[in-house]
Every structure is written in structure tokens, then in C-alpha cells.
Structure 1
């Protein structure tokens, strides 16, 4: 039944696509906006990033940010997963990660056109963080949490409801509640087939760039990564009497994933356990526990995957990332940006996949390489 509904929505959305009116604030900045920071130049410092090749993105390129600001959209509607439609009936593309492809993938173009037929809900002041990629831990961390961080520094933000999608992953609520305790009670879930009518919608642009100058890669502002890191540390330091002793050497398990798994994980963990490494399955831990594990971590071994995002909460760690050589090297750049901003040693070791799922089997040769890279006195 769900597949049938999905196909029908997709068809109807494509039919309605041509009738949409779209306003792209990246083409022309809103006249009525409150400037937080003027555009600035920045580099990604990859001097602590170690890879046995020269990917095109490792060059020390100077990037230009967009202006950081917020707007107050009066009498807007919010449709589907966070699509903001102003009173003129224009879709504000910035609310859908400033790219039409993400708007179209939501399959709600027909709902926007027929929004007056949807069940309605009225809210006074809102800040919506729902979008096409909000179920990705990486995108949530790098694209949503920094926007909340900036929004929380704007006037009277405690009066705004924070809208998340219905049935969002548990880490969405947990991360907001832990990092921004005063906002925990402001979280509101909204359903896809619903129209939220608001008096005021506060909108903050996504804090990254993606265009031809970046070769269509997401380039995040290093200062936002640093600010999120500092905020997390501040909240951890506010915790009284942390009784649990957290391991300093971690292996991120992907046993529940569909790809990039360690096929001989049990054997590998048993061997590396001699050097103090502990295997953790992050999706089985609440957000606070994930954060604390990485706050205390010194050395982390992980196959390329979203779990590596958690290094953003680390203090002074070393990361060894195992990366399938068949995968496009562009993907390695995303975690490199986090380690670069925080000046963490980041070692990338490529491996030849064992199957089409990019799984691997860690043999003695690779174990020796891991040991040498992380300065382990191998037995």
C-alpha cells in the first residue's frame, strides 16, 4: 500500500511541478533580512589529513561564504517536510536545502498547489528544520544543528516552535534537548499531509555552499563545526557526576548496516581488544551516550559511514578511516572537513572491497597497517 501511495504522489508531484512559483534567495537576497555576518573567505586546513594520494579537493582553495542572516516570513504555510510557502504562494527554496532537486524528491508539489485542501494546523511562531535529508545523521549534524545554534542567538528565539518531521529519528529530539536544553519544550512534530499556517516563520539559510565553484560538493563553514564542538563540550562539562568510565579507543561497528561491514568483525575486535579497543554500535546508543563516547575518545577506527560524524564532539582524537577504493574519493571529503576544522589527525586507508556491498575482510596485512598508523605496539 505504501508503495502505491508513493508512486501516486510521485506522479502527481511531477504533474504539478510546472505550476510552482519558486523564490531562490541565493539568486537574490531578501530585501527584509537581519544580517548576522557578512560574507567571508575561508580555507579548509587539511595539514592533519593523511592520505596516500592527492584528491582534487585537497588543494588549499579559498572559498567564499554566503551572507549569514535570518528573515521573518509573515503568514507563511509549511507543507510536507518543511517546505515554506510565502503568502504570495512562492516556495522558498532555501527551506528545501536551496536546491530544487531536494524539493522535487519530497514529492509534495501537488500538495503545495492544493494546500488549501489539506488539514490545517495553526502555530504562532515557528522555525522549521524538517527537510529531505533530516533522517541522515550526517546531514542532521552538519546542516540542521548549526542552523539551530545560530537561530538560538537571534532575538526572542525561545518563543518559536521548532518543527521536526513526524516519526523523525530519536536523535533529532535528543540532540536538540541536550545541546539546547532551553529549547527542548519547543519541539513540535508535523505530519507530511498537513498544512501548518503560521503568523511568523523564522528562516535561516543553510550554512554551507554547493555550486560549480565547489564542484557540487557540500562545503561547510569550519567556524560552525568549531562552534558546535564547543557547545557540546560546554554541555558535557555541565553534567554532574559522570559515573561511567568511557573507553578511549573505539571501533565503530557497522554490523547492522547493509554495506561497508567488516565481515570478520568479531575476530578483528578480539585482536584489537588487546590494545584497548572497544567495539560500539552507535545506532543502539542514545545521542548523549554517542556524544560522551567521542568526547573521551583518543583513537577511533571506522569504516566510512555516518557514525564518523560523531568526531565533531571529540576533544583530541585520532581517526583512522577505512575507505573502499571503488567509491568516489569525493565522499572522503565530508568527514575530512570535520577533522580539519578541529585539527584532528585523520588517516585514510583504502581497501579493496570483498563484494558489491563494499564490505571488507581485515587481514593481517591490513591489521599491521592499522597498528603502524596508530602507533600500536603490535604483538
Structure 2
């Protein structure tokens, strides 16, 4: 490569290129994934010096999984270029490269010294230049898309296809040229047609080099952010050791990987999930091992044996080549657990949900590439583990980008399977809820809305105790606008940990929550509004009331604390139906598992209601019987008075849809027979599991005491 081509032109920082619009932001701090790395390798002959060194370089030590990592997202935009030479996979002006993807340089750690020096020189030369904004750009100009290795699925999906997001959302309506000389693989136009059907017919593929007077290209703003904004300095990695013992008996380390992604990559993932939202996915697996049985290289030696051990946990083999683009996206969007050998098949992890858990099986030649898929896990905010395995092959070094196969023997398979089983039963991490974009300022952002509320209420109750029916009834009687944060986590900010959010009784879809942010949604309310927070399956006591909503609220900040309960037999009937329905939907119609879940819930039920047995109970907790609430209008009026509210709508309302709605009714339907509604246990008489747990009412001391007091 000629030395002149080591220099490049930064879009928007010179006369040759101008931004079509001034960006509202260059970069944002985002919430990423939780990452772990450990080893099942048995042969450390080559691993000790190379793989551990690479993991030391790419990862940071984290004492424990105390939350997802912070990552950086760079904005993207459309660029107007003057007299640009377009060609095969690159753009030039005066034989200088026009860089459109600085994020790739940021992620690359193998830059040669000379190239790295030129990076510094280029940035220094443009550091004081004014941002160039084009005026009255014709959006019908031809658009050129830099083809970043489109013959490799990973590079096409992460570097080429995201450019179509900017074209789609900017309104550019001219012809689109994908700059590549060779015939592209079928997936190129397949994914373009699947995700950008309005653009597909305007796309042609050509790598012919020629000069264009005026054109539009897509760029991310990583370099602009470095010259026109302050980006946190990269953290220096700490020394790690794969030989330290993992708490679970595995050789392991906790890691934190510093990386970034473009806004286009995140939006591409959102567009993909939106495209398959209404798709019938029943034929696609939710737990799968990505198979490389059809791949020519980088196979997984021991794949069949691993799959045989994973099948009892609901895993299936998934071969991406056998599925359409939308089917691939759909499978990953609903995935609960993914295990995969290192390879392009894991690229679609960007379409996964936050609740997905992924494990990449790799070997020492590929550990440096873990950053690529961790970056995509950051986009999805799912959890990600890198497992270092043995290798099978004769190549000590990679040749033509290909190395040895990943190999796992019986011991490694046993460790991997055992680890998967433990995650499925105990969880890898807490279920991280929707969060504000800036983790550093999230508590302060929550505190900024404190003081705008007219009233604050907290609700506690066991699942299937009528919590949402009563909360909805309170909302209808507030006389103010309202914000309801459902099912928050104790001792954490409710603004971070809620599972659902309502404004004025209307559930706000998650895409709108993400787009607006919690502060944006609160801004839609007319102050002073009422704040309602619910804690499910968490027992309130006088001792813990002050700390439950910390660090944002103290116990004294709330006007009322409401404990919602239901008589034991009615609650038991509804809860058993709920558990049974969920197990059937998951294809696990197991009486043993049903009994285990119900037993745990009964224990929680007695713990939740035990405070009601205390004489001279504190007035800071208002107990509300769902059974009485259903059948007694005067009882409802008394509760409203205790809450400081006047009756405006004292009806039962419609059945709420939370948790799948009522165990016996369709959500949204009206309850016409309150008496029967308060005697659900009649519908479960003769059910073996119900009858077994019903007998506890005559034998368990706490339940007997609650029953004698008229509670259970």
C-alpha cells in the first residue's frame, strides 16, 4: 500500500466531505453486557503464553458480576462527498482514503506501528478544524456503500449492512451502489430485502473504479468524537490468570471487556427484532447449539457428543444456512440460551433479547476475536461467556484467516453441560431491567424527578394475589396523572429495575421506553403526579421499609405502604393454575417441578403474611384483603379513605393482563360474578396437587394462625 494511502480524510473535517446534518451527539455511554471467561482446556502447551496473554490484553478483571459493563456508542450520519473516487471496497479523494468506519480501527488491537502513527498524525491534523455542514443537499444523489468484506457473513452484517440504516432513516432516495467487484453471496441481498425492502430495488453491486462529482456516503462519528468531544480514556487491562480456580470448580476469570459499537449497529438489531415481532416462531428453537457441521473449517470436534448431553435441557441443533434471514433473526430474538463454537454463526447474537445467555466455545488462536461477538452482545445487552477449549489440527499459526478446529472431550463436555444446567436452574445474573443510557448518572437522573409527585404509594403482594386489580383501582381514584413502576427490585433504584411501566394506567411498550428514557416519559406527565411502585413476593416489615426503595427513596418518602393479600385457598388455586400453564407452554408438563414451585411459593406466602399476626401492627402498613375487596363496595371505600383518596370509580374494573392475566379469565374482560371470583378454590376441588397443599391450612402453624385471624 503506498504511504499516501496510510493517510485519510475524516468525513466532516475538510472541504472534500461535509456532513448532511449537524449531529445532535457524537457518542453516548451505554449499558452493555455481562461477560465471563473460563477454560475447559486440558492441553496448556501453547495456551499459557498466547491465549492468556491475549485475554489479558482484551479483558479487565471484575471482582464480581455487579452489573453490566459500560460501553460507548458512536453516532452515525450521511456525508456529502465532492469528487470522490469510488472503487472496490474503498473510497478515495486525492489518493487518500475516506474513512467511514473508525469503530473498526478502535476495535482492532493489531495495528502496525506505522499505521498507528499515521492514525495519530491524521487526528492531530484535524483536531482544530471546524465541523463542515453541507447546505441544501440533494437527497436524490447517488449513495455509495463501502463493502466491508461482504464475502464474510460477520463483516457484512456488522460493517456493511448497518450503513443501510442511515440510508433508510435519512430519507436518501437516490440509486445505491454496493462497492464490490465480486459476485456476492446470496445472504447479501437476502438480508437487505428482509430488513430494508424499500431500498432493495435501488441497490446495484459494482466495484468499478470511477470518479463521482457529488455523492452521499455513510460514516460513523468516532473520529469526530475524538476531535470535537471528550471520550473517556481506555482503561488499562489488569493481569489475569486462567489458572485461578473458578468458584464452581472451573478454571476461570471474571472479565470486563472495553469496547464500543455504532448507533447503526444497535438500530439494525432493533429493526431486525421489529421485522419478526409478529412472526410465527413455534417451529424455531429457543435453546440451541449452533452447528458447524456444514462448515468447511473451524469445526467443533465433539459437537454430536455435546449436543447429546444438552438435549435433556431442551437444546436443539441450529444450522443457520438452512434458514431464511428472517428465520435466523427470529430464532435469535426468542433464544433463551445459545451455545456455539467460534464462527460467523454467532453474528446474529445482536438480535437476541436481554434475557438471552450465550456461550462461545473457542481455542487459543481465536481468543482475540472474542471482542467481536462481545461487542454484539453489548448491542443486545445479553450475557456472554467465552470458554477456552482445546484445538485439533496441525497449524500452529492461522493460515489465510483459518486455524485449527475447536475440540472438546468428555471432561470438557461434562463441565460445559454442568455449567449450562446450573445457569438454567440458578441463573447467571440478576434479570437486568430497562436502564437509563448513562449508568453513572442513573440515580441522579432518578432523583431529579423526585419532588414532582403529589403522592407516593408502595404496594407489596404475592403473585396471584390481585395486586394489579387493586393498583389499577387506586390509579382510577387518584385524581392526578400517574406513573406506575411494576415489580421493582428491593434495595435498588425503582427507576432501573421495573419490569413494566404505566403512564396514567396505560402500559408503555418497551421500544417507547427505550426511545424516550425514563426522564422523557416523566416529562409527559403534568405535575404534580402520583407515583406508584410495586414489589412482588417481597415481605414488608417495619424494619425494612426504610431501605427497600433506596438509594432513591427513604421509607418516610411514601404516603402509604399497602400489603395486598388473598385467602390461602383462593391464592393457592390461582397460583397452581399459573404454574401449570407456564410449564405446559414450555413443554415441561412435570408434576415434580410443579410441586417444587408451589412449595416454594407457599413458603413465601407465609413469610409475606406473617407480619399480619403481630398485635398492634404499625399503621405504616395498610393490609388489603383481595377477597373482601372483590365483594364489598364499602370495604373498598374504607381502603380509599385510608389512602387519603375519595371514591371516584369504586368498581372492580377489568381484569389486568400482567403475568398472562387471570388464571381463570381472559385479561381485559369484566368480572361479572364477584362472589365466584372470591371462591376460586371451588374450581380446583379434587385436584391432587391442590388438595395436597390445601391440607396445610389445618396443619401448618402459621397458616392456622392466619386462618384463625381471618386472613388465610
So what's the TM-score if we normalise by structure 1?
0.73
Q: Is the 8 A contact 2:292 2:299 kept in 1?
A: yes
Report the counterpart of residue 408 of structure 2 in structure 1.
Answer: 362
* 3-state SS of 2:22 partner: strand
Q: How big is the shift at 1:235?
A: 1.1
Matches within 5 A, 1:302-317: 302-315=340-353, 316-317=355-356
Consecutive unaligned residues in structure 2, runs of 5 or more? 39-51, 63-68, 106-110, 112-139, 227-232, 237-256, 396-402, 426-712
> What is the distance in 2 between the residues matched to 1:279 and 1:50?
24
> What is the distance in 1 between the residues matched to 2:216 and 2:352?
31
| Structure 1, 26-35 or 263-272: larger mean CA deviation | 26-35
Q: How big is the shift at 1:142?
A: 1.8
Report the counterpart of residue 159 of structure 1 in structure 2.
Answer: 174
Matches within 5 A, 1:294-373: 294-315=332-353, 316-324=355-363, 326-327=364-365, 329-355=367-393, 356=395, 357-373=403-419
> What is the distance in 2 between the residues matched to 1:153 and 1:94?
21
Deviations 1:241-296 (A, max 9, x none): x3752111111112333443122333333343333222122234332222122122
Report the counterpart of residue 26 of structure 2 in structure 1.
Answer: 39
The two structures, once aligned, show a CA RMSD in angstroms of 3.8
Q: Is the 8 A contact 2:276 2:330 kept in 1?
A: yes
> What is the distance in 2 between the residues matched to 1:70 and 1:174?
24
Is 1:257–2:325 an aligned residue pair? no
| Structure 1, 28-37 or 62-71: larger mean CA deviation | 62-71
Q: How big is the shift at 1:300?
A: 0.8
Distance 1:294 1:164, change over 3 A: farther
Q: Is the 8 A contact 2:37 2:385 kept in 1?
A: yes
Matches within 5 A, 1:128-147: 128-147=144-163
> What is the distance in 1 between the residues matched to 2:414 and 2:222?
38
Report the counterpart of residue 287 of structure 1 in structure 2.
Answer: 325
Deviations 1:201-228 (A, max 9, x none): 212214667x99699x994326444322
* 3-state SS of 1:134 partner: coil
Q: Which has the larger radius of gyration?
A: 2
Q: How big is the shift at 1:179?
A: 1.2
Q: How big is the shift at 1:314?
A: 1.4
Is 1:70–2:78 an aligned residue pair? yes
Deviations 1:278-328 (A, max 9, x none): 21222343322221221222111101111111111112321111121x226
Report the counterpart of residue 216 of structure 2 in structure 1.
Answer: 202
Count of residue pairs brought into register by the alignment: 330
Report the counterpart of residue 98 of structure 2 in structure 1.
Answer: 93
Deviations 1:226-246 (A, max 9, x none): 32221111111254xx37521
Q: Is the 8 A contact 2:74 2:263 kept in 1?
A: no
Q: How big is the shift at 1:67?
A: 6.4
Q: How big is the shift at 1:36?
A: 2.8
Q: Is the 8 A contact 1:96 1:132 kept in 2?
A: no
Q: Is the 8 A contact 1:158 1:182 kept in 2?
A: no
Q: Is the 8 A contact 2:310 2:417 kept in 1?
A: no
> What is the distance in 1 between the residues matched to 2:183 and 2:73?
33
* 3-state SS of 2:276 partner: helix
* 3-state SS of 1:157 partner: coil
> What is the distance in 2 between the residues matched to 1:291 and 1:131?
22
Report the counterpart of residue 166 of structure 2 in structure 1.
Answer: 150
Q: Is the 8 A contact 2:281 2:331 kept in 1?
A: no
- Structure with the bigger RCO (C-alpha within 8 Å, sep 6+) is 1
Q: Is the 8 A contact 1:50 1:346 kept in 2?
A: yes
> What is the distance in 2 between the residues matched to 1:160 and 1:36?
24
Is 1:237–2:238 an aligned residue pair? no
Report the counterpart of residue 310 of structure 2 in structure 1.
Answer: 272
> What is the distance in 2 between the residues matched to 1:207 and 1:293?
32
So what's the TM-score if we normalise by structure 2?
0.41
